[in-house]
Structure 1
Amino acid sequence: MASLVGLFILSGCAGAPPITSVNGLEVVRSGDLPAPARADLVASDRPSLVGPLDKLEISVFDVPGMDTEALVDASGRISVPLIGAVDVRGLTPQEISDAISSRLSRFVRDPYVTVNVLESTSQAVTVDGEVETPGLYPVTNQMTLMRAIASAEGLTEYAKLEQVIVLRTANGQRMAGVYDLGAIRRGAYEDPAIYANDVVLVGDSPMRRRFQDILAVAPLLTAPLIILFQNN
């Protein structure tokens, strides 16, 4: 049994090419990686849009009684003192602030309004398939495919690395991208960005499942068992 498991491990390792420098990736084989510059620590801007069931904090400077917390209803609206219902669906916090300021200016001179998102349920990605904890996970402007899978506590033992699908609607068109996590880990191409409403599906490896079934039966066999594998 130990030899069988060792064969499996060696077979899996033999198929992985060595990590080498490619366009956009420099491999450092000795010494420490250089420290990132400040610009490297800031993700590219992705607007955070407000949607139904998000919770907002609204503050109006120097106007007593105007500070409030508001829950976006299913139609995408909130209720604000003095001005009533405001449609905020699909707006950024700054755009909501501007909309409230514009309507509030009829009652308050030069209102200074700030809007912060306290809780967001609309900005989420669905991670499903061969991950440890499928579900909905919050999306930030730094979310990537690898981070989305890590949020779901990683892959199961049956996950198929080369068959990870991202479903997305872009400009009204439903699209699917197919990614190879092994290639991303080797630096063959960048870890792709993940956006709100994306669906990440991790495929299943039938070969790994068959191997697990064989291991379960192996103790019952009286003769040695030799398995030859191909990458699957």
Structure 2
Amino acid sequence: MPFKTTSLLAALASCVALLAGCAGTPPPPSQTATSQAAPSSSFQAAVYRLNIGDRVQIKVFQESDLSGDFTIESDGKINYPLLGRVPVSGTTTADLERSIKKGLAQGFLVSPDVRATVVAYKPIFVGGEVKSPGEYPFTPGLTAQQAATVAGGLTRFAAEKYYIQRNASGPDQRFRATPDTFVYPGDIVTIEERLF
């Protein structure tokens, strides 16, 4: 007995629905991807968690008095006009935009348009067997090898063993890195001495 067209279509629809259910919906990207990332992961400004020493630029459309650059102070906050001490450390720029927008909308502005960007990250520190150890500005995309180059290059005693100490979340994390491992703001990059 031949199948009716409607029965065949219903059977196909059921199969498609079953396959879609098996595939599932991919989970949304974690907001803490930066702090939990593998050491080799590239720096992503969109999910970067702001930290003490970072400088952010906040722009409020048509409100020059509420726009400017703000450095995150040792208590993890910025001093923002009208709102006072605003907690910033540990948030993303998107979180900061929402926080400022919410604060300004409570009796100050109607539907404020707020944009936040990082204009300067916390510096990195390069030490060990490099020619000019010290503090250097962070730039997105910087690798451990590039950090050593910025610090004058390796000395003749360098073992070319790179280590990074990172304090993204919780206790300090020190791990063995490769020359191509990406550096994050505030990282301490150390090149060990060669054993003779």
TM-score when normalising by structure 1: 0.56
Q: How does 1:40-189 map to 2 (within 5 A)?
A: 45-46=44-45, 47-63=47-63, 65-106=65-106, 107-120=108-121, 122=122, 124-161=123-160, 163-169=161-167, 172=170, 174-179=172-177
Structure 1 residue 169 displacement after superposition: 4.8
Secondary structure of 2:124 counterpart: strand
Partner deviation per Cα, 1:109-167 (whole Å, 9 max, x = no partner): 110011233333x2x33211110111122333312111111121210111112x33233
Query: Given residue 168 of structure 1, which amino acid in structure 2 is its aligned partner?
Result: R
Which amino acid is 1:104 matched to?
Answer: L
State the Cα distance separating 1:76 from its structure 2 match.
1.5
> 2:23 maps to what in 1?
none
Amino acid at match of 2:194: S
How far the C-alpha of 1:179 sits from its partner, in A, is 4.9
Amino acid paired to 2:155: T
Unaligned runs of 5+ in 1: 1-42, 182-190, 208-232
User: Counterpart in 2 of 1:201?
Assistant: 190
Do 2:43 and 2:182's aligned partners in 1 also have CA atoms closer than 8 Å? Answer: no
1:174 shift after superposition: 4.8
Distance 1:95 1:132, change over 3 A: same
Contact 2:60 2:115 in 1 (8 A): yes
Count of matched residue positions in the alignment of Structure 1 and Structure 2 = 153
Q: Distance in 2 between matches of 1:62 and 1:180?
A: 47
Taking only the aligned residue pairs, the percentage that are identical comes to 27
C-alpha spacing 1:89/1:154, structure 2 compared with 1 (3 Å)? same
Which amino acid counterpart does residue 112 of structure 1 have in structure 2?
D
- TM-score with structure 2 setting the length: 0.65
The unaligned stretches of length 5 or more in structure 2 are 1-41
